Amino acid sequence: MATTDPNRSEREMENGARVRALASECVVLLENRFNTLPLKTVGRIALFGNGVRHTVKGGTGSGDVNTRDNVTVEQAFFENGFRITTEGWLGEMDDLYNQTLSSYHAQAQKWAMENNSYPFFYEFAHPMVSPAVPNILEEDCQDADTAVYVLSRNSGEGGDRDNKKGDYQLRNAEISAIRDMAQNFKHSVLVLNTGGIVDLSPVLEIEELGAVVLMSQLGAQGARVLCDVLLGRVNPSGKLTDTWAKCYEDYPSSATFRDPKSRDDDYYTDGIYVGYRYFDTFGRDVLYPFGYGLSYTDFSVEIVQSKLEEHVLRVWVRVKNTGKLPGKEVVQFYVTPPSGNVMKAYQSLKGFIKTKHLIPNESEMLQVEFDVSSFASYDTALSCWILESGDYILRAGTSSRNTSVVCAVRVRREIIVEQCRELMGYGGDVQEICGGFGISEDTSTYTVHELSTEAIATKINRYFEIPNRPLTTEAADKVTLEDVKSGKYTLEDMVSQLSPEELMRLCIGQFSDGATQVVGDASVSVPGAAGETSHIPSDRGLVPQILADGPAGLRLTPSFERDGVTYYQYATSIPIATALAQSWNLELIMAIGQMVGQEMQEFGVKLWLAPGMNIHRNPLCGRNFEYYSEDPYLTGYCAAAMTLGVQSVEGRGTTIKHFAANNREENRMFVSAHISEQALREIYLKGFELAVRISKPLALMTSYNLINGVHSANNHDLITDILRNEWGFEGLVMTDWLTCSSRSEDFSPRDKRYGKSSAARCIAAGNDLIMPGGEQEYRELLGSYQLTDPRTAGVATLRGLQECALRVLKLQL
């Protein structure tokens, strides 16, 4: 619970130090020319860039965290004993920043008046664009031989980025300043304090530029982490989780991503060819490949042995530190499939492992296992996951463009791994690009393992519908939650006694009659939390379950008053999801998750509305910082690790989101993503599937958007058939905030093609909890309620309400 002590707590200090120690593995060294890093001495230093005094800890919107403070790069260098020689330049930068900020707020006020709305909605969808920077003059270069330029970019929920100068592209003034720095200082470092990709092509042409470091956005301690890396206290071991193209137009989704014509209907013509799958399949040059990252030392990677036992392939690899400094290395494993009838990418990530801290000349033997069934592709014609006949080639290396063959697994005849059925309503209206159907390669130079045709048994999915008959009970007493906990009665007994109106209130977040809920701040019990479950029925011993935003830490009100007493609840700001994934260290992510779970326990939060795990389909998605990667395998394992960490703390849980295909923010509540079933299952659903199967999260949040014309929250195929029947998910499914409310209109143009999500269809689809709750959604459920056929579209039946209420109440058990 919140404390009345305003001083920094021991927990705050311990967790801040813990984040600082772990976050250094999230930093990616992109360039280290002339052996510039680590810095050799502590002394005078010239600091430039908009991120020196305005260091960004994370994105805006629900992913922000209200921390006690945020250490700036300037402050961190000062703490490390540096004397900063560019106070004058930084003062000019401050003036430009404040002018831009003032104009930004004025524009928000103007927009609010013209649209009869609030400045919040403008600022929510349009984060402030980075201002111009002053010129670097001769006097700025006099008193130091080392300079660091910190380039910051911000983005957030509700709006996407732009392929324009000051955002994805660098301003001309920024390029000029970086060039002047590189040409006038003996040692020069460019630091990227960004939550996503920026176009580095112009600055990489500057021959004198020494080093480029992707600091990312590491939370409130990020600037201190940066100094630890630059000074060599820790060796950077981060790897990119996205492909950095030479120009934005190289991304296959670039032609339509911000095209007004795709505002209502977004056609995923790239299909399965997202990120490195596209660049590697089509042979396009890149600036930095997926999985890339340098170190201050060198490593050798040696494949020692591979062995196939039934359907499990085991590989032993030896990694040795052949350089002069301690460090860690990541070994990545990709599979190239054989040619066949199903469209395939050249290669896909199927595993990775990170070494321990290796001192020079030290080596470590690592073992990695692969279930060969995970090599399967999805065949839409047969509605199944299938291993087509041929050789599946396993490659190992340190990026997608730096691999060598380990071995191959030969499949003599096709094997149906899992039989599904046609779902998700794809009408074949997307003209997908075609990259090929696998490859044929000479396997005579490496080991080929024969897969037994009996090694993999076909999984046959069964699809169950909710029965029409309502639950009943013979219990004569009024069943309470305590009765259920003691074993006297079952939860089904309790739910059977509830009236339809009580069931409806359970399936909607807590609200007061006639009250307007606050976006992302609807909890009464824990101020600043996003919402809470219903208090009704109040005579059954229910305790409201608190839901708090994430995923960069708990988003709570830092201080509040009750009955004349001031309370404090400062949470820890952790690295953004993309940065955490850049560590390629699942144990690290699990440790961060456990820390968050402990803070949830302290403040009385039941569910963390995180991790976000949508795919980085396009680098301009405004919310990419909240998501892990362009790759579903890496995404799924990172989300599973975070969930296992949080849920290791008793009674705490995660809410994986946004399910599914929430890959842009513009018109996010009313855009229909048109996606083939193969692309959905292999790219946009696969990460969720992995997280569900591995970590069993307590909850899942559906997305705002529609998929092939149906809102995610109303999609029975998605929620019941795939999530529950195929994957075995037993947790709670909730909506995103206001998706069923008329207030969703505040976030979207009025002339849209599709309407809002339906509260009644949520219940029919198996979406248990409508958040944050409101009288409008309650009235809609009342109006749709009937006891007849549960298969009737858009109807909230008694049994449907009972099933959803059961899962809401299970949170308390």
User: Residue 436 — very low, low, confident or very high, per pLDDT cuts 50/70/90?
Assistant: confident
Task: Report residue 747's pLDDT band, with 50, 70 and 90 as the boundaries.
Answer: low
Using the predicted structure, report yes or no on whether residue 32 has a pLDDT greater than 80: yes
Query: In this predicted structure, which of 104-113, 214-223, 330-339, 593-602 has the lowest mean pLDDT?
Result: 104-113
Selected residue with higher pLDDT from 522 and 590: 590
Cβ-contact 243, 345 below 8 angstroms: no
User: Which pLDDT score is estimated for 793?
Assistant: 56
Hey, how many other C-beta atoms are within 10 angstroms of the C-beta on 518? 13
- Three-class SS of 187-219: EEEEEEECCCCCCCHHHHCCCCCCEEEECCCCC
Alpha-carbon gap, residue 490 to 511, rounded angstroms: 27
Q: Tens of pLDDT along 707-742?
A: 999 999 999 999 999 999 999 999 999 999 999 987
Quote the tokens at residue 298: 């060198």
Cα angle for residues 608, 612, 616 (degrees, 5° grid): 170
Give the model's confidence band at 670: pLDDT under 50 very low, under 70 low, under 90 confident, else very high. Answer: very high
Radius of gyration of the chain measured on its C-alpha atoms: 27
CA distance 473 to 309: 50
Classified as helix, coil or strand, 458 is coil
Longest dimension (CA), the chain: 88
342 token code pair: 């199903």
d(CA 578, CA 596): 17
Q: What are the tokens at 331? A: 């070994």
Q: What pLDDT digit, counting tens, does each position of 285-307 carry?
A: 999 999 999 999 999 999 999 99
**Banded model confidence at residue 473, pLDDT cuts 50, 70, 90:** very high
Q: Is pLDDT above 80 for 430?
A: yes
CB neighbours of residue 215 within 10 Å: 29
* 777-802 tens-digit pLDDT: 999 999 888 655 545 556 788 999 99
Average pLDDT over every residue of 3-21:
95
Q: Which of 9-18, 365-374, 433-442, 474-483 has the lowest mean pLDDT?
A: 433-442
* Among candidate residues 765, 639, 586, 628, the one with its CA nearest the CA of residue 196: 628
**Average of pLDDT values for 77-88?**
97
Distance of alpha carbon 565 from alpha carbon 731, whole angstroms:
37
Q: Indicate if 736 belongs to the active site.
A: yes
- Decide if pLDDT at 746 tops 80: no
The pLDDT, as a whole number, for residue 522 is 73
Burial status of residue 126 (CB atoms within 10 A of its CB: 0-12, 13-18, 19 or more): middle
Residue 539 pLDDT exceeds 70: yes
Distances 4 to 53, 504, 563 between C-alpha atoms, Å: 31, 37, 12
Query: Would you state the structure tokens that stand for residue 198, as one six-digit string?
Result: 């920026």
Is pLDDT larger for residue 742 or for residue 267?
Answer: 267
Whether the per-residue pLDDT at 516 is higher than 60: the answer is no
Question: How many CA atoms does the CB half-sphere of 469 hold within 13 Å?
Answer: 3
pLDDT of residue 576: 97
- Under the banding of pLDDT at 50, 70 and 90, the label for residue 127 is confident
Please report, rounded to a whole number, the percentage of residues in the chain having pLDDT higher than 90.
85
In angstroms, what CA-CA distances link 136 with 7, 201, 676?
A: 41, 21, 51
pTM, to two decimals: 0.96
Of the given ranges (57-71, 486-500, 562-576, 600-614), which has the lowest mean pLDDT? 57-71
CB 615 within 8 A of CB 630: yes
Higher-confidence residue of 749 and 499: namely: 499
- Whether the Cβ atoms of residue 385 and residue 418 lie closer than 8 Å to each other: yes
Res 158: pLDDT: 86
Return the structure tokens found at 559.
């201080």
Band the pLDDT of 118: cuts 50, 70, 90: confident
617: number of CA atoms within 13 Å, CB side? 30
> 36 is written with which tokens?
């510039």
Question: What sign does the CA torsion over 273, 275, 281, 286 have?
Answer: positive
User: Please, are residues 227 and 76 in contact by the beta-carbon 8 Å criterion?
Assistant: yes
How does residue 198 score in pLDDT terms, banded at 50, 70 and 90? very high
pLDDT level of residue 745 (50, 70, 90 thresholds): low
For residue 466, name the pLDDT band (cuts at 50, 70, 90). confident
In 625-671 the beta strands, taken as DSSP E runs, fall at 653-659
> Which residue stretches of 26-171 are H helix?
73-79, 87-114, 119-125
Q: Are 231 and 42 in contact (CB under 8 A)?
A: yes
What is the pLDDT averaged over residues 675-685? 98
Determine which one of 477, 736, 768, 789 is catalytic: 736
Dump pLDDT digits (tens) for 628-656.
Answer: 999 999 999 999 999 999 999 999 999 99
Q: How many CB atoms lie within 10 A of CB 479?
A: 23
430 contacts: CB under 8 Å, gap ≥ 6: 267, 268, 269, 271, 674, 675, 676
